[in-house]
Structure 1
Amino acid sequence: MKVNKAEIVISAVSEKQYPNDKWPEIALAGRSNVGKSSFINKLINRKNLARTSSKPGKTQTLNFYNINDLFYFVDVPGYGYAKVSKKEREKWGGNMMEEYFSLRDTLRLTVLIVDIRHQPTEDDRLMYDFLKHYEIPVLVIATKLDKIPKNKRDTHLKRVISTLEMDEDDAVLSFSAETSEGKEEVWSYLDNFIK
């Protein structure tokens, strides 16, 4: 897809702030610092529309990005080791995300981003199970592909699939924000959900 327009529309904390133009939405989920912002920026060919940060846990809102006046990417708060209090984490992690994932009827797909170099964490597994509980289609993106040798890629991908205990109808694609490898495959997969 050629992206001619990409802009952040709103950073929302509750349902009453969500856009109401009924465009399809693709949510992006993943551990803090797994590379969600780099993934968005690479897909849409922008340097820093989505802010990258060396401090994990900076996204504490649901960030709606208008793409080509056609659909939204919705960046949800990262999970894992954000340095905020447990109470704060539950507020913007648990309640805010639960409200979004359970109520949003324009949500078509969630992209769950994991680091291909490491076995998915318990938090990754919980997130995958959470999405399956709400019967939301999931695309798993194994990012940081450029960091592992070509002859080890299949092994790493199989480990992602088995650790998450992925359903056969959910896809896993590998991706590198450094080299753009996998970008075309990701867009052709996403295309099915934004028509």
Structure 2
Amino acid sequence: MIKVLLAEDVHMIRGALAALLNLEPDIEVVAEVAAGDEILPAALRTRPDVAVIDIDLPRKDGLAAAGEIHHRVPACRTLILTSLGKPGTLRRALSASVSGFLLKDAPADELANAVRGVAAGRRVVDGDLAVAAWGGSECPLTNREVEVLRMAADGKDPTDIATSLSLSLGTVRNYLTTSVSKLQGRNRLDAIRIAREAGWL
């Protein structure tokens, strides 16, 4: 039996996904959570084989949570389920050591097959997205620049970001200025828009 942890913040979607997976004779949903910061505690408690994680979750990004699982519960593989079908998003997912990446509009039977594939140790990636990623452009930002810009996109001001990341205020401002320049944005909001559209945030 493949034990699954399901992380999705929209209650109706989470319930539908859990119902679909529980219909499979070899899959059992052992935990359901609605926020990113609930994923690791649930994984430590239930020890699932696969965590199916929405990329855009409140309180903690799904990819950040997947990275935590990779380090703290290495036997649990992660499958990102998202509506953000952009090449940059796939690259972020692969750099976070996730095992699979599936779009939410994929046929229902593909989810169960993706869970089985990931549980068996295979990397499962949506075919169309993989082709797009092959030819897509690389993110020009460093990992730290992406992290700072993502926090700014979440509404944190430079002082909050500096405190959260144990950086000086000047360093945070430099990261934001450099990000705007690298993305050729008019300002910080424009840089956030450009990065989101490319799937880099």
Q: Which has the higher contact order (CA 8 A, sep 6+)?
A: 1
Higher strand share: 1
**TM-score range for the pair, normalised by the shorter chain length:** 0.3 to 0.5
User: How does the TM-score come out when normalised to structure 2?
Assistant: 0.36
- Name the structure with the higher helix share: 2
Q: TM-score, normalised by structure 1?
A: 0.37
